[in-house]
Amino acid sequence: MWLTEKFGLSVPVVGAPMANVSGGKLTAAISAAGGLGMLGAGSAVSADWIRTEGAVASRSGKPYGVGLMAWSVKDHPEHLDAVLELKPALVSLSFGNYSPYVGMLQKEGIVVATQAGTVADAREAIDAGVEVIVARGAEAGGHGRNAVATLPLLQAILDLTDLPVLAGGGISGPRGLAAVLAAGAAGAWIGTAFLTCVEALTPSSVRARVIEADETETVYGTVFDAASRAGWPDEFGGRALRNAYFDTWEGREEALKTDDVGHTDYVDGVRSADPARTSIYAGQGVGALTSQLTAAQVLDGFARYRTYLQAALR
Ligand SMILES: Cc1cc2nc3c(=O)[nH]c(=O)nc-3n(C[C@H](O)[C@H](O)[C@H](O)COP(=O)(O)O)c2cc1C
């Protein structure tokens, strides 16, 4: 399988980049346990944060990756500079125009990935020379498109290209991993399942809320982006747990963009990690999270995918 051979993994799982969740510690723990960890560098981090956390991530001695927001690199070229210095094994550039950066990363021997939410996105990735495409379905946590679910998207992209394709969105355990591998994916791109890991940056109040949530409690939209003023393009909303803040502002996103009280309320909510007001990004697989495990334990769970593949052939 391309993913495990290329990066020397024992489990075909990439720990998806998650801003405010996958710092160096989680990234290193996933890589040390046989997956490929990825640092989630959101638009608000400093280049020094990337350097410091990248150094922590590299301590496992195993390959790791960094995920950048393509739309924010234009305003933060120092993020790209920091990544070029670190030279991680894999860099993902998602959500926005990443084509100017692909060649300069590849020149340093870095494998470049992007997350595609439609077949048109996948075609763009192929044209841009990206080496691995993540078919990221609408059930995924965090930002992306809400256009197509993981399974139809994965099948369509696998039919489109011979490039390695990873499946992302809603893969919450070994059954899901077995399903996408059987379909032809080179591995899975998994975020939500690592949200409550001991090594994650997730605050304790948020961990508790995530563990309590079932699979029906996520919602997709741009409310939190309008509130944060981080600069997210409207075409990429996010999937998060529904909460009182979302309910208050849903349908009034344009007004929220310039509403100072709404903005301050959100910023306070993030600062105090108040589950009713902060954005808790999570995918539909959130219902499967019932405890706080180490990244190694989560990967051990995923490694049981072979049982399901064998059962399917019986
Ligand atoms: C809390 C959270 C933060 C995320 N942050 C990022 C990010 O910084 N960069 C990125 O490319 N994708 C980000 N994503 C999306 C993931 O890379 C991935 O597409 C998603 O987690 C896969 O679906 P799943 O959550 O159902 O496993 C984030 C997802 C979550 C849940």
Cβ 91 vs Cβ 80: under 8 Å: no
pLDDT band at residue 225 using 50, 70 and 90 as cut-offs? very high
Alpha carbons 55 and 229: distance in angstroms, whole number:
29
Cα distances (angstroms) measured from residue 64 to each of 5, 8, 11, 40, 152: 14, 11, 14, 11, 29
Name the packing angle between helices 77-86 and 47-58 (round to 10°).
20
Q: Give the pLDDT confidence score for residue 223 in this predicted structure.
A: 98
Q: What mean pLDDT do residues 39-48 have?
A: 97
- Please state the CATH superfamily assignment of the domain spanning residues 2-201+288-313 in this structure: Aldolase class I (3.20.20.70)
> What's the confidence (pLDDT) of residue 228?
98
CB distance 140 to ligand 1 below 6 Å: yes
SS3 assignment, position 248: helix
Cα-to-centroid distance, 26 and ligand 1 (Å)? 14
- Residue with the smallest CA separation from ligand 1 atom 8 is 19
What percent of the chain lies above the pLDDT cut of 70? 100
What residues does CATH 3.20.20.70 cover in the chain? 2-201+288-313
Residue 237: burial class (beta carbons within 10 Å; 0-12, 13-18, 19+): buried
- Please give the pLDDT value at position 307: 97
Diameter over CA atoms, the chain: 60
- Protein residue closest via CA to atom 10 of ligand 1: 17
List all residues 6 or more positions away from 312 whose beta carbon is below 8 Å from its beta carbon: 178, 182
Residue 132's beta-bridge partner residues?
A: 113
Question: Mean pLDDT for the chain?
Answer: 98
Q: Can you give the pLDDT at residue 233?
A: 97
Ligand 1: atom nearest CA of 16 is 17
Query: Ligand 1: does its nearest atom lie under 6 Å from the Cβ of 17?
Result: yes
Mean pLDDT of 41-69: 97
Pocket test for ligand 1, best of 27, 153, 281 (most atoms within 8 A of CB): 281
pLDDT in tens, 83-141: 999 999 999 999 999 999 999 999 999 999 999 999 999 999 999 999 999 999 999 99
Question: Long-range contacts: 83-89, Cβ < 8 Å, 24+?
Answer: 83/41, 83/50, 83/54, 83/110, 84/108, 85/51, 86/50, 86/51, 86/54, 86/55, 86/58, 88/39, 88/54, 88/57, 88/58, 88/63, 88/64, 89/7, 89/36, 89/63, 89/64, 89/65
β-pairing, 65-69 with 90-94? Answer: parallel
Cβ partners under 8 Å of residue 142, min gap 6: 16, 18, 19, 191, 238, 239, 240, 281, 283
* Sequence letter at residue 179: A
Cα of first residue to Cα of last residue in the chain, in angstroms, is 22
